[in-house]
């Protein structure tokens, strides 16, 4: 079924004013992960997505061991009414075993990670013990089995340790290493081609002519794509010429899983991108009810028929031309779509967090706004204020900010002191 047919099946949609949530849901409903997998050395897998479940080959921890530095004792020997005196008959370190078995009235000094000596079942932390020569006084109130990590407590042999779809972060690297995994199977890196459109754009390093501006969008796109681990293909600046644009689209679609453009998707006389997208594949052109970023296109080059014929089509995102709108639409739509195509499950979602808005913000119901803000701790509570001018062409507002202030579709004006939701850049950008 074509994208247009699938989209027409949705209820309560208005292509002229699609809400952010509707657009996001439809994009997610169409995407499936890339199928190809590869084996990587563990350290090379950081930031990649697991393609197969990882099952624990043995118990983690492999043996009972002490969780603290202290003294290994038999709990049955401890008094419930007063301190118990025990003689220390040795020390056991991590990676070692204690030869023999402590007798009645004896205990063993034990370090974190060491195996408890035979017959002992409890570890008393050193901070609460009084040392008296070769003996220790242990206060009453100790719990049986305390401060001992049991074999298989973290993972039992045969138990799934990490499910396919898990994004491999530093914690996952450590967990995989603890299981002895030298290599892991991951989804192949997603290939993304991108280019900017516009006769007014000039590449960095070239002198500006009258009326020209430097193309910043390719650099922000490169940074955003590289941060999430995509293999990127930068096709540069493409002029507002149908022939040049068609050639760029064909080259991008042949080489990549996803094609991203910036500029050319509004209704200006030189905005050819929308028409070419429809000519070369199929596209849903959305005037999304959001600010910044109202014009955005989603579709695919090649479409269902081409994919059936040659086995390949590329997903397409036509982003606006204004720099802030590029970043806003990327993070609200494209980022999650790319993670879906990478096979990530669940998606690495950046949560919305409440904060007190310290100034009034003008807002009319009927669209979602993503204002750039500065979030800070003030008198014990999180407060946020918008940064300066909020124009969609003012890229400095993204650099000065540390969060989006997310003003929901149905929300009206914000008064100083009202609670608003924020999306923190740290972890997003």
- CATH number for the domain spanning 206: value is 3.40.980.10
Say if residue 329 is in the same domain as residue 244: yes
d(CA 194, CA 238): 10
Residue with tokens 């002490």: 66
Q: What is the mean pLDDT of residues 360-381?
A: 95
Say if residue 194 is in the same domain as residue 331: yes
Say if residue 335 is in the same domain as residue 203: yes
Report the share of the chain in percent with pLDDT over 90: 73
What tens digit of pLDDT does each residue of 233-257 get?
999 999 888 888 899 999 999 999 9
Question: Is residue 77 included in any domain, yes or no?
Answer: yes
Say if residue 268 is in the same domain as residue 144: no
Q: In this predicted structure, which of 156-165, 290-299, 359-368 has the lowest mean pLDDT? A: 290-299
Say if residue 43 is in the same domain as residue 180: yes
Q: Quickly count: other Cβ atoms within 10 Å of residue 382's Cβ.
A: 15
Say if residue 336 is in the same domain as residue 356: no
- The CATH number of the domain holding residue 141 is 2.170.190.11
Residue with tokens 């499910």: 163
pLDDT-based confidence at residue 266 (cuts at 50, 70, 90) = low
- For 24, the token pair is 């996001």
Residue with tokens 């779809």: 165
What tens digit of pLDDT does each residue of 20-45 get?
999 999 999 999 999 999 999 999 99
Q: What count of residues does the chain have?
A: 429
Question: Is residue 171 included in any domain, yes or no?
Answer: yes
Say if residue 242 is in the same domain as residue 274: yes
State yes or no: pLDDT of 303 exceeds 60.
no
Burial pattern 251-284, b for ≥16 Cβ within 10 A else e, equals bbbebbbbbbbbbbbbeeeebbbbebbbebbbbb
Q: In this predicted structure, which of 65-69, 237-241, 366-370, 383-387 has the lowest mean pLDDT? A: 237-241
* Domain boundary pick from 321, 342, 363: 342
pLDDT of residue 4: 61
pLDDT of residue 240: 81
Question: Is residue 93 included in any domain, yes or no?
Answer: yes
CA 259 to each of CA 29, 53, 138, 301, 334: distance values in angstroms, whole numbers, following the listed order: 18, 30, 68, 8, 11
How many Cα atoms are found within 13 Å in the side-chain-facing hemisphere of 71? Answer: 30
Tally of structural domains, the chain = 4
Question: Is residue 195 included in any domain, yes or no?
Answer: yes
- Compute, in degrees rounded to 10, the torsion defined by CA atoms 31, 248, 222, 346: 0
342: nearest Cα among 53, 3, 35: 35
Question: Is residue 155 included in any domain, yes or no?
Answer: no
Say if residue 290 is in the same domain as residue 227: yes
- The CATH number of the domain holding residue 170 is 3.90.105.10
Say if residue 214 is in the same domain as residue 308: yes
Cis before 61? omega within 30: yes
Contact by Cβ (8 Å): 181, 42? yes
pLDDT-based confidence at residue 208 (cuts at 50, 70, 90) = confident
Say if residue 198 is in the same domain as residue 271: yes
* Domain boundary pick from 119, 149, 179: 149
* Domain boundary pick from 121, 149, 177: 149
- Compute, in degrees rounded to 10, the torsion defined by CA atoms 216, 219, 225, 229: -170
Say if residue 397 is in the same domain as residue 384: yes
- Residue 77: which domain range? 65-149
What tens digit of pLDDT does each residue of 310-363 get?
557 899 999 998 999 999 999 999 999 999 999 999 999 889 999 999 999 999
d(CA 118, CA 399): 61
Q: Please give, one letter per residue, the 3-state secondary structure of the chain.
A: CCHHHHHHCCCCCCCCCECHHHHHHHHHHHCCCCCCEEEEEHHHHCCCEECCCEECCCCECCCCEECCCEEEECHHHCCCCCCEEEEEEEEECCCCCCCCCCCCCEEEEECCCCCCCCCCCEEEEHHHCEEECCEEEECCCCCCCCCEECCCCCECCCCEEECCCCECCHHHHHHHHHCCCCEEEEECCCEEEEEEECCCEECCCCCCCCCCEECCHHHHHHHHHHHCCCEEEEEEEECCCHHHHHHHHHHHHHHCCEEEEECCCCCCCCCCHHHHHHHHEEEEEEEECEECCCEEEEEEECHHHHHHHHCCCEEEEEECCCHHHHHHHHHHHHHHHHHHHHCCCCCCCCCEEEEEECCCECCCCCCEEEEEEEEEEECCEEEEEECCCCCCCCCHHHHHCCEEEEECCCCCCECCCCEEEEEECCCCC
Higher pLDDT, 356 or 1: 356
Say if residue 336 is in the same domain as residue 289: yes
Question: Is residue 87 included in any domain, yes or no?
Answer: yes
- For 108, the token pair is 């063993």
Q: What is the mean pLDDT of residues 215-233?
A: 94
Higher pLDDT, 52 or 286: 52
Question: Is residue 309 included in any domain, yes or no?
Answer: yes
pTM for the model: 0.85
Beta bridge partners, 404, equal 372, 423
pLDDT-based confidence at residue 75 (cuts at 50, 70, 90) = very high
Question: Is residue 154 included in any domain, yes or no?
Answer: no
State yes or no: pLDDT of 11 exceeds 50.
no
- For 42, the token pair is 């563990």
State yes or no: pLDDT of 285 exceeds 90.
no
């Amino acid at each position: 079924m074509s994208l247009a047919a699938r989209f027409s099946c949705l209820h309560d949609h208005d292509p002229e004013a699609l809400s952010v949530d509707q657009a996001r849901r439809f994009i997610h409903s169409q995407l499936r992960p890339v199928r190809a997998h590869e084996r990587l050395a563990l350290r090379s897998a950081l930031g990649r997505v697991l393609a197969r479940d990882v099952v624990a080959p043995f118990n983690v921890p492999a043996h009972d061991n002490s969780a603290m530095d202290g003294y290994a004792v038999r709990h049955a020997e401890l008094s419930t009414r007063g301190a118990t005196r025990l003689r220390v008959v040795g020390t056991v370190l991590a990676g070692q075993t204690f030869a023999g078995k402590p007798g009645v009235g004896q205990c063993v000094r034990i370090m974190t990670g060491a195996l408890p000596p035979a017959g002992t079942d409890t570890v008393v932390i050193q901070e609460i013990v009084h040392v008296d020569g070769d003996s220790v006084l242990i206060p009453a109130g100790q719990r049986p089995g305390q401060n001992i990590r049991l074999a298989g407590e973290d993972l039992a042999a045969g138990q799934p340790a990490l499910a396919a779809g898990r994004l491999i972060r530093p914690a996952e690297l450590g967990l995989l290493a603890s299981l002895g995994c030298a290599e892991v199977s991951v989804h192949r890196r997603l290939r993304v081609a991108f280019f900017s459109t516009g006769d007014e754009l000039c590449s960095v390093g070239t002198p500006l002519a009258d009326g020209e501006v430097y193309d910043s969008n390719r650099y922000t796109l490169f940074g955003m794509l590289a941060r999430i681990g995509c293999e990127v293909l930068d096709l540069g600046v493409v002029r507002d010429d149908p022939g040049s644009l068609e050639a760029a689209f064909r080259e991008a679609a042949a080489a990549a899983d996803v094609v991203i453009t910036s500029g050319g998707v509004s209704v200006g006389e030189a905005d050819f991108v929308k028409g070419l997208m429809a000519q070369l594949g199929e596209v849903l052109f959305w005037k999304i009810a959001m600010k910044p970023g109202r014009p955005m296109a989603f579709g695919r080059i090649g479409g269902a028929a081409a994919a059936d014929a040659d086995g390949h089509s590329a997903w397409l995102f036509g982003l606006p031309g204004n720099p802030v709108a590029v970043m806003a639409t990327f993070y609200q739509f494209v980022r999650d779509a790319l993670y879906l195509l990478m096979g990530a499950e669940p998606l690495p979602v950046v949560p919305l967090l409440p904060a007190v808005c310290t100034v009034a913000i003008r807002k009319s119901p009927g669209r979602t706004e993503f204002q750039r803000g500065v979030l800070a701790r003030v008198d014990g509570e999180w407060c946020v204020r918008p940064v300066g001018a909020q124009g969609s062409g003012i890229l400095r507002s993204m650099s000065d900010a540390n969060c989006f202030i997310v003003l929901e579709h149905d929300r009206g004006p914000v008064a100083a002191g009202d609670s608003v939701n924020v999306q923190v850049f740290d972890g997003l950008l």
